[in-house]
Structure 1
């Protein structure tokens, strides 16, 4: 399977952090986004950032900035769609997404997502980790997505679908299980940032 393009999802409003660009918060002297770029870029054939508002504020990253094409902060699926449309223009079949506020995700994210979709006509998978209560916790901002389903996703978003798993379940998405529960720890609050510093 050829290397997918990577898309960092940073299109949210970061309300629990008081707004602003959460990916710009500092962790170990560097931004959360820097940590995410370092982990994702070796695993993909190219990288872009899904973000809304003035793209110029990310000029220093030297990445394509992809805004949502669906109005009204439609959630991660809108960022996935922006990435799929970008990939279609590049002639690439798949993308892998990662959240801008999750600095410790696995360095083998992409190959394990690809392995989980072996044999699928339209490779679609989400990352998962063990959960003592639910058995398996899905991490819907970390996935492998096929360009072939982008028009289906566009129609679903226009119909009001916002929950990632509601759409991925329709297409029998696979699960790539990762053993480390802490790997997908994300920074949502100031307390989370303190915890991330300790983890670092």
Structure 2
């Protein structure tokens, strides 16, 4: 398998956070996005951040920041599509900016599942359900994804039904899927990451 690029998805509107840009909220003295970014950088080659606002602030994290090529905050699929258009690798591994506890073997396990060559996408599963923003996708799917978005499609799991994909069980890493959607969850995550760093 060729080198994989990483994509940190930070393009949402964060309605439950009062519209605050979640990736730039402070967690343990760093922007929330920096936590997932660091873990991705340790596992893949190039990493991009998909963001639709505050580009200059995200650029301070030291990686290339891209915008959705589909207008109107079309969701994580639009960020994924922009990533496939911009990344230099044949495979793109995505993660949301508000999930700072990515498994240290996230990329390795996803690539292993894709290495057979029979799948164009690999999606993480928490043991109970798919976690579709945790996705490894081949550049071969760029046209399929573009067509899906052009027809108004927005849900990753519905798009995955149209493409060959494999699930990877991460039930042994449940913390990986913890995310921050409310101020209360940010406080809980702060306690968790500061406890882990002691």
TM above 0.5, yes or no, is yes
Structure 1 residues without counterparts, runs of 5 or longer: 131-135
- In structure 2, the partner of 1:133 is none
SS at match of 1:170: coil
Structure 2 counterpart of 1:180: 173
TM-score by length of 2: 0.92
Distance 1:25 1:153 in 2: 30
Aligned mates of 1:152, 1:27 — CA distance in 2: 37
Among residues 122, 128, 141, which one is paired with 2:133 in the alignment? 141
Match of 1:160 in 2: 152
Contact map agreement 1:6 1:97 (CA 8 A) in 2: yes
TM-score, with normalisation over the residues of structure 1? 0.91
Give the structure 2 partner of residue 59 of structure 1.
59
Find the aligned partners of 1:50 and 1:164 in 2 and give their Cα distance: 16
| Number of residue-to-residue matches in the alignment | 192
- Measured in 2, the distance between the counterparts of 1:81 and 1:50 equals 10
Over the aligned positions, Cα root-mean-square deviation in angstroms equals 1.3
CA contact (8 A) 1:11 1:52 kept: yes
Q: How big is the shift at 1:139?
A: 1.2
Moved over 6 A (4+): none
1:101 corresponds to which residue?
A: 98
Instruction: For residues 143-183 of structure 1, give each alpha carbon's deviation from its aligned partner in whole angstroms, at most 9, with x where no partner exists.
Output: 10111110110011010111101011211311111112222
Residue 196 of structure 2 corresponds to which residue in structure 1? none
- The SS at the match of 1:97 is strand
